[in-house]
Structure 1
Amino acid sequence: MVDDDRNILDTVVEALRDLDYAVTTAENGHDALERLRNDPGIAILFTDVVMPGGMTGIELARKARELRPALAIVLASGYSESWLEELPEDCDYLPKPYRVAELATKLGAAAGRSGRR
């Protein structure tokens, strides 16, 4: 789970743990890539699109896909969807605000395609 907003990060992590996901967090794209390099057990990348620190969620998704081609990736955003054409192949999108049930459905579908959860 990657989000620069600590309140969102904490809330979503709690919801994901309630859904029986093991969760690793990162506050920016660089930190997330480091975690992906060091933890082959990470099956899904769930990231915000708009983040400070020099790397957007789209850029993170591309770099993560280069690093781990089979990684399931879900991006979330509350901003205009004009960036959707930039979405890397086989990535999912979840518009903000979302409900826990929508999050569970989207992550479950992404994990199913990757063959992992």
Structure 2
Amino acid sequence: MNKFRQKTVLVVEDEALLRFSIADTLEDAGYAVLEASSVLEAVGKLGQYEDIDVVLTDVDMPGALNGLDLARMVVECAPHIAVMVSSARRACDLADLPSAAHYLPKPFTPVGMLSSVGKILSLKAVEAEKSAASRRRA
């Protein structure tokens, strides 16, 4: 991740008003935002844009795939992208959450969401630096 580039968050939420609110909050905080209303739309965005830093997805999504499916795909296929999964109703599915993904319970405040996004970006930056350092030593 280039630390000097504006960070990009892909917001995956089927409830339009909530998605718009999350996107506005992130944009006001200086993030670039992409939006998707389904897992399939999110997969398309992931294939279309190279510079996505964080995927923030709801668990309950329309269609055959849910946010946990998306989280597993991103963690496996694009481990450089941070993943945050959010839900108000699906706490029992946390056992299915990939170990590299983070959980953000709903309802969340704008400050809480921004704090969580900042923390996972910091964690990814540390991981990337460690990985680069170990490659330099090898």
- Whether TM-score is above 0.5 comes out as yes
- 1:81-112 deviations in Å (ceiling 9; x for gaps): 11111100111111111101110111011111
1:40: how far off? 1.1
TM-score (norm 1): 0.94
TM-score (norm 2): 0.80
- 1:107 and 2:107 matched: no
> Where is the strand percentage greater, Structure 1 or Structure 2?
2
Segments ≥4 residues shifted beyond 6 Å: none
Aligned residues between the structures: 116
- Out of 81, 84, 90, the residue aligned to residue 91 of structure 2 is 81
- Out of 55, 64, 68, the residue aligned to residue 58 of structure 1 is 68
Code of the residue aligned with 2:56 in structure 1: it is F
1:63: how far off? 1.1
Q: Which of 1 and 2 has greater Rg? A: 2
Alignment correspondent of 1:26: 36
Tell me the percent identity: 29
RMSD value, Cα: 1.2
Structure 1: 5+ residue runs without aligned partners? none
Structure 2: 5+ residue runs without aligned partners? 1-10, 127-138
Point out the more displaced range, 18-27 or 63-72. Answer: 63-72
